[in-house]
A and B are shown apart, each in its own frame.
Chain A
Amino acid sequence: MATAEKAIWFQSSREQLDALLLEVCEGLQLSLSRHELAVERYGTVNEILEKAGSPFQLLRPRIFPQGSMALGTTCKPVEGPHDLDFVLQIDAPHWRWHPLAGLSALYEFLSSNETYRKMISLKNRVVRLTYADEFYMDILPAYTDLSSGGTCILVPDRARVSLCPSNPEGFILWFRNTCLTRTRRVMEKAKPVPAQEAVHEKEPLQLAVQLLKRWRDLAFAEECLAPISVVLTTLAGMHYAGEESVSEALTTILAGIVNAIALADLQGKRIVVRNPSNLLEDFGERWDANPQAYNAFKAGIRRLQKEWAVIVAGGRETDKELERLFGEYVRTALVKRAQRLQEARNAGALAVGSTGAITGLASGVARIRPNVFHGDE
């Protein structure tokens, strides 16, 4: 077989499906130029927050990415801007100040900046900078959580007027470690700004998360009902069992989530999605205030599991189903594969196996000789 990203012929249905999903994820992820732009903007904001005149200058500010960019699970939005999440962590005695003091100080400081004044808005936990070119950057001011230790932080929540526990850095470490397949279970350290990985370098779990997020974006028309990314990412990580194949990983993850939902239903509860790196944080808590969203998630994920099983079973028609679930990148991937097939045909590099499967010259029973498709006008 050719290399994973250039595959033309396949030994098995699973291998073929994985290659297709890999190309879909290639379309889904933040392009390299957009990634570089995001890193550049992150650098600029970081500089401003650290330099003289910043209220954070003496508080040893540390700004680092969290969310999909740090996890390697970026997924282009179906429409609207791409969000990038950063944490501004300061070492300060938070108990001396109002819980929202850091958030207010960040908002006021950036509002006083000529460049950011027109781009800034205040959200429940973050200060948002909206760029003209389909990006927004959410900056979460946070205090080091000295009592919990490690990489735990406390983050402001305007609705609760309090500080809430979190641990995005620990979450990144947990996810990156969970990502490793059975054969590659070794510790990795999170990098402050991970370089953009090519899709073929990504782990199956990262790809599965990208696909789940894309499914979410397409399946939930109402944003208020859609499960948030960190819930999907955590659930995927919790149920991933180290599969080497993205399609098999997705099968396992979906089965795990559906089983967990069934178990919780039996107990008359919702599933709990604890931050594995800070058990005080439950990413599913929004469902308490919005049970309709939990019901929509349950119905959606059960439906996805059934639809996914049909896709895994194979058959040409299932490509349409894949496109319905994950969007137009499926079509693009199929076109690219056919283009590669045509190139290999022009190069005289194709043969067929005894079942009619197109393959390389070494493994075929009959070479595909030059021909021109014809027909009636």
Chain B
Amino acid sequence: MRSRFPHFRRTTNRGDQIKWRGTLQPSPRSDLYEVEIAYEIPCRPHIQVMTPGLTTWGDLKRQPHTFRDGSLCVHQAHEWHGNKLIAETIIPWTCLWLAFYETWLETGCWLGEGTHPDLPEHSPFGEIVGAAA
């Protein structure tokens, strides 16, 4: 992890649980996000944006492709398992999620596709813009 993403440091390492915290900036004009990634065997990595707090577009209650606790869901269950490196999967996917999140926040359009396309926060360009503008 440190060799690829030097801004990340390990904050917890107690055998079955490991946590990293670091910053990601998906583009030069993006915010600098502090992200915590917690991995506890045998669960999937838990991705939380610590700062700045995630906000929503318009009146929507939550961001696209998140869990109810506000953590990010950047993959389907079968796309990740314990022998995949977090630096090669979870971190790049998180960067991508953040990039699409920023466009969504400004436009109301989630352009990164994904599951549950019928959810209001995933609505394609045009529909949601018209409804909430």
Contact = CB atoms under 8 A, between A and B. Distances in A.
B92 A376 contact: no
A13 interface: yes
B75 A323 contact: no
Contacts of A319: 29, 102, 106
A267 interface: no
Interface string B7-24: 100000000000000011
B127 interface: no
A67 B87 CA distance: 55
A369 B88 contact: yes
Contacts of A12: 28
Given A316-B102, A352-B92, A377 B116 contact: yes
Interface stretch (A70-78, A123-131, A354-362): A354-362
A316 B30 contact: yes
A345 B67 CA distance: 23
B68 to A, nearest CB: 5
The winner among A331, A337, A342, A374 for most chain B CB atoms within 10 A is A374
A271 to B, nearest CB: 33
B26 A358 contact: yes
A367 B28 contact: no
A320 B125 CA distance: 17
A339 B125 CA distance: 11
Given A10-B27, A13-B28, A376-B67, A350 B96 contact: yes
A316 B25 CA distance: 10
A309 B33 CA distance: 22
Given A13-B29, A365-B4, A372-B75, A338 B93 contact: no
B112 A373 contact: yes
A338 B97 CA distance: 11
Interface string A232-255: 000000000000000000000000
A17 interface: yes
Contact of B96 (A15, A315, A358): A358
Contacts of A373: 64-65, 73-75, 97, 100, 112-115
B107 A334 contact: yes
Given A16-B27, A335-B107, A368-B93, A376 B73 contact: yes
Contact of A367 (B23, B75, B92, B109): B92
B51 interface: no
Interface string A178-195: 000000000000000000
Nearest to A373: B114
A99 B48 CA distance: 75
Contacts of A331: 106-107
A346 to B, nearest CB: 9
Nearest to B77: A374
Contacts of B79: 370-372
Given A10-B27, A376-B66, A356 B5 contact: yes
B24 A334 contact: no
Contacts of A318: 29
Given A316-B105, A331-B107, A374 B115 contact: yes
A109 interface: no
Contact of B103 (A338, A354, A358): A338
B76 interface: yes
Nearest to B22: A356
Interface in A325-354: 331, 334-335, 337-339, 341-342, 345, 350-352, 354
Nearest to B110: A373
A20 B27 CA distance: 13
A323 to B, nearest CB: 7
A146 B52 CA distance: 66
Given A314-B28, A319-B102, 18 more contacts: A17-B29, A316-B30, A316-B102, A318-B29, A331-B107, A345-B96, A352-B96, A354-B6, A354-B7, A355-B24, A356-B26, A366-B88, A366-B92, A371-B89, A373-B115, A374-B76, A375-B66, A375-B114
Interface of A: 9-13, 15-17, 314-320, 323, 331, 334-335, 337-339, 341-342, 345, 350-352, 354-358, 365-377
